[in-house]
Amino acid sequence: MRLSAIHLRVADPERLSAFYTGLLGMRAQEQGASLRLGYAGEDADLLLMPGGGGYSHDQGQRYWKIGITLPDVDLAAAFLRRQGVEVSTPRQFLDIGYMCHLTDPEGFVIELLQHDFEGNRSDNAADPSDPFAQARIGQITLRTGDIGAEDRFCRAQGMRLLSMQDVAQYGFDLHFYAFTDDTPPDADPWAVANREWLWKRPYTTLEFQNVAGAQFAPSPDCRGIEIEGLQAPIHDAFGDRVWPG
């Protein structure tokens, strides 16, 4: 099985597709009335479905973002700025990762997350003329107030917990699940040593931002995740739909 897509309802799939393909290096193909965007390889895709519009990022909603992992965030951010895209300043966020953020033309949040921590990136890690050549959708991020229920759901589908990351000073922690037999370098899921390893995985992890006991609202324009190998639609621990890939 494989985490194969996040389904997003958007106002203009063609316009949004041009952003992801023209600037972020994804490829597009038609899927009925929708457009399926992604990178080559085993990571997940974006399924852009018509019928949305007026999306506004809200920290009280279930859906948060996608994370794109790649070798050199500085190169990617500089490239996007030259194309007129507003991007936050790349920085090392605690002992989590070196990253920056942007939004697409309809307001969906994108995190660019470097394979290596600040100062650990090798010289010539990426091609300056094509900074997204090695990019993958590394994370699909959801919010939860009940990580126990999310954990039971993920394990029931055959996913494994790969990493847990304490961000207590901001009031949450992070939990990462994937369909894989990979073994992290350190058996302790809280270990910092697992994080750069995690950002280099070729597949997509399902990331939960856990705020213990918090209540989150459904995200109307997020229509659920997709799992390749699932036999029929089901509901996740929050009640959102999970679709067969």
Question: Helices in 102-157 by DSSP H: which ranges?
Answer: 147-157
Tens-digit pLDDT profile for residues 56-76? 999 999 999 999 999 999 999
**CA distances for 89 relative to 73, 77, 78, 134, 216, angstroms:** 10, 8, 10, 21, 29
CATH of the domain at 98: 3.10.180.10
Q: What angle do CA 48, 245, 9 make, to 5 degrees?
A: 20
- 46-58 pLDDT tens trace: 999 999 988 999 9
Q: For the chain, what percent of residues have pLDDT higher than 70?
A: 100
The pLDDT, as a whole number, for residue 134 is: 97
Which stretches within 23-146 are classed as H helix?
Answer: 73-82
On the question of pLDDT at 37 being above 90, the answer is yes
- Phi–psi pair at 154, nearest 5 degrees: -60, -45
Q: What's the rounded Cα separation, in Å, for the pair 154 and 150?
A: 6
Cα 47 from Cα 38, distance rounded (Å): 9
Compute the distance between CA of residue 215 and CA of residue 221 in angstroms, rounded to an integer: 18
Number of folded domains that form the chain: 1
Residue-range definition of the domain harbouring residue 239: 2-244
Q: Is the pTM of this model over 0.85?
A: yes
Task: Over range 29-44, report the average pLDDT.
Answer: 97
DSSP 61: B
pLDDT, tens digit (0-9, with 9 covering 90-100), for 92-150? 999 999 999 999 999 999 999 999 999 999 999 999 999 999 999 999 999 999 999 99
* Confidence at residue 54, expressed as pLDDT on a 0 to 100 scale: 84
**Per-chain mean pLDDT for the chain:** 97
pLDDT at 156 over 90: yes
Q: Which amino acid is at 173?
A: D
